[in-house]
Amino acid sequence: MKILSIALNTFRENLRDKLLYNLLVFALLMIGSSVILSRLTLGEFHRLILDLGLGSINFFGILIAIFVGIGLVSKEIEKKTIYTIVSKPVARYQFLLGKYLGLTITLFVNTVVMALGLLVVLSAQAVPIEGLLFKALALIFVEFMVIMAAALLFSTFTSATLSAIFTLALYVIGHLTADLKTAGAKMDDLSRGLLNGLYYLLPNLERFNLKGHVVHHLEVSGSDLLLIVAYGGAYTAFLLFLASLIFHRRDFR
Amino acid sequence: MNPECLVHACYDQRLNWLKPLFNGVTTCLVLGIVFLLQNELDQRHDRVIVQIQDLANLPRGEYLKPALLGYHHVGADLLWLRFVQVVGNKQNSEDEYAWMYHALDVITTLDPHYAYAYYIGGNILGELANRPDLSNQLLEKGAKANPTVWNIPFLLGYNYYFLLGDPAKGAQYIMQAASLPDRPAYLPGLATRMAAEAGSPETALVFLEARLRETQDPEMQEFLANRMKEVIIERDLRLLESAVAAYQVQHRALPGTITDLVTAGVLSMVPQEPFGGMYLLDRKTGALSSSTHPKRLRTFFKRKQPSYSFPKVQPSYSFPRTWE
């Protein structure tokens, strides 16, 4: 209950953030601009709208997750409002989870708005809408959840700027981890063990990327989808657990 | 009144109405300066929006793909968009076609399932650039990544049949295309026919008609229609040649004109030259030709050596030469 009230408060607070609206407007503009670009291309203009639309939702959602996520805790500490919360009978992990849940609600609303924008463009251009599109959108949202948890984790122990850099770095690394495994396969046992360890420690964000599947109609089985979502949930839980451990020992001065 | 007072006057309470005017004029002035400067810079550097040379500078797809962090499909789309803008030219130099191949290779590495890019790219490189080697390279890559797309082996078959003068291999690819889902209904018939009578003009005409049906691009349609007419000339010349031979057996002499063949009864009628010209007969040698296309079309049945030229890269200096 406490978590929920903190979450709703965070959501209300986020809605006052101008950054959120800026990014949202840009995302919708990008989705809309795909219609103009598709006039210039040759052949499959459907795929340009789908690719650019899903790409924009993904990209701007990540930006929102990072730049709103890093402010969740650090802003409270900066403005000293954290004292009023910590002095109440609220466990620190509850505060953290509430903040996370609040941002999740914010980003969910955002994703829905962006997805509606894309759907409007798709139906206006008479592009057939498939169930696969919603699967891809769902996995994009799971990726947001992982990135939000990472932003929250970093913001529990460093400044906002550094958290933003760390989270962006994790996002980049997360899309390249498959190379760790392939590189490790060519090395000796010790290095391979090390690289494999890193591979399992870091998130493999490419797993959440179904954008290409939508365009090429490559169906994903339900069990695969379930596994990917479970992986995202487990990784998010890991990051949040780590964040609450660090936050528990944090001294606000 | 000194200038400082003038500025102050603008912000005077009584002159409040001047404020928006002043702001508007300043904004327009600054925008105007920006426009002029930008225009001047553009003219000095003579920038075209997309230059074909830019295609040559693209990094290899293998390196570009990881750098795009999962947005490689968007990357492929945007590169395709740039590619399409430069393809519009009717004539391109040999270098430019090599750059186009590079761009297509990058696009299809970013998105290996982009079947449309393989097909259009294979068309441009094979037919317009006369580089069946590059076209086949691209198409083989596409066939490997998309084993169920029929028009990739279809185009490969075309390249082997018409451009490389290897009808047997061409027929093999058409057979492969005919076994794939969503292929047009006429394809199996064409495939068996090609295998049975590779190199005959009649088969070539059926094949060209099939290509024409699959093409939406008007430029390509015109090209294929012309090619069909050229094959019709070849078919007619073969017909006339056999008639001349029959005439020689009958009369032990060469015919004076082509109409002699009809009067002698070895030819039912003089065929019409499809480009609006006429067929000519050399009285002395008996050689036949078309008035519009004096050279015979040998591409699809006689040419063993490809007529295209590979870019010759020869090192000017090879290392152990001085010791030999």
Q: Name residue B288's beta-bridge partners.
A: B281
B238 shares contact with chain A (CB less than 8 Å): no
Residues B140 and B276 both lie in one domain? no
Which of B76, B84, B113 lies closest to A42 in CB terms?
A: B84
Residues B165 and B260 both lie in one domain? no
pLDDT band, very low/low/confident/very high, at A114 (cuts 50, 70, 90): very high
Q: Provide the pLDDT for residue B310.
A: 40
Query: Are A51 and B69 a contacting pair at CB < 8 A?
Result: no
Query: Are A205 and B84 a contacting pair at CB < 8 A?
Result: no
Q: Provide the pLDDT for residue B190.
A: 79
Q: Could you give the number of structural domains in chain A?
A: 1
B:271-310 residues touching chain A, CB 8 A cutoff: none
B324 occurs within a structural domain = no
Rounded to 10 deg, the angle between the B115-123 and B151-158 helix axes is 10
Instruction: Identify the CA nearest to A139 among candidates A214, A232, A73, A63.
Output: A232
Q: Provide the pLDDT for residue B46.
A: 62
B148 occurs within a structural domain = yes
Q: Provide the pLDDT for residue B259.
A: 86
Whether B142 and A241 have beta carbons less than 8 Å apart is answered as: no
Indicate the residue among B194, B222, B250 that finishes a domain: B222
Q: Provide the pLDDT for residue A253.
A: 65
Residues B58 and B128 both lie in one domain? yes
- In angstroms, the CA A232 to CA A143 distance is 7
Residues B88 and B187 both lie in one domain? yes
Count of A–B CB contacts within 8 Å?
53
Residues B70 and B211 both lie in one domain? yes
Whether B87 and B100 have beta carbons less than 8 Å apart is answered as: yes
Residues B184 and B269 both lie in one domain? no
CA separation, residue B199 to residues B7, B83, B210, B240, B300 (Å):
88, 35, 16, 18, 6
Query: Are A41 and B74 a contacting pair at CB < 8 A?
Result: no
Q: Which domain holds residue B101?
A: 53-222
- 3-class DSSP state of B272: coil
Q: Which amino acid is at B155?
A: L
B41 occurs within a structural domain = no
Q: Provide the pLDDT for residue B197.
A: 65
Residues B86 and B201 both lie in one domain? yes
* pLDDT-above-90 percentage for chain A: 51
Q: Give pLDDT tens digits along chain B (324 positions).
A: 566 665 565 556 667 778 888 899 999 999 999 999 988 887 776 655 556 777 888 899 999 998 999 899 999 999 998 888 877 666 677 888 888 999 999 999 999 999 999 999 998 898 888 888 999 999 999 999 999 999 999 999 989 888 887 878 888 898 889 888 888 877 877 777 777 666 677 777 887 888 788 777 777 788 778 878 888 888 888 888 888 888 888 888 888 888 888 888 888 888 888 888 888 888 888 888 888 888 776 545 433 344 444 443 333 333 333 333
Q: Provide the pLDDT for residue A120.
A: 93
| ipTM summary value | 0.85
Collect all residues of chain B within an 8 Å Cβ-Cβ radius of residue A212: 72-73, 111, 113
Indicate which CATH number applies to the domain containing B82: 1.25.40.10
Q: Which residue matches tokens 């109609």?
A: A217
Residues B113 and B139 both lie in one domain? yes
Per-residue pLDDT tens digits for A8-47: 988 998 888 888 888 899 989 988 888 888 888 777 788 8
| Mean pLDDT of the A143-148 span | 96
Collect all residues of chain A within an 8 Å Cβ-Cβ radius of residue B84: 40-42
DSSP B270: P
Structure tokens at A9: 């408060």
Smallest CA–CA distance from A53 into chain B, residue: B74
Mean pLDDT for chain A overall: 90
CA separation, residue A215 to residues A51, A219, B77, B216 (Å):
7, 11, 11, 22
Residues B107 and B250 both lie in one domain? no
Q: Measured between CA atoms, how close is B160 to chain A, in angstroms?
A: 25
B14 occurs within a structural domain = no
Residues B168 and B284 both lie in one domain? no
Q: Provide the pLDDT for residue B10.
A: 52
Q: Which domain holds residue A34?
A: 2-249
Q: Provide the pLDDT for residue B316.
A: 37
Q: Could you give the number of structural domains in chain B?
A: 2
Backbone dihedral angles phi then psi of residue B135, each to the nearest 5 degrees: -60, -45
Query: Are A40 and B66 a contacting pair at CB < 8 A?
Result: no
Length of chain A: 253
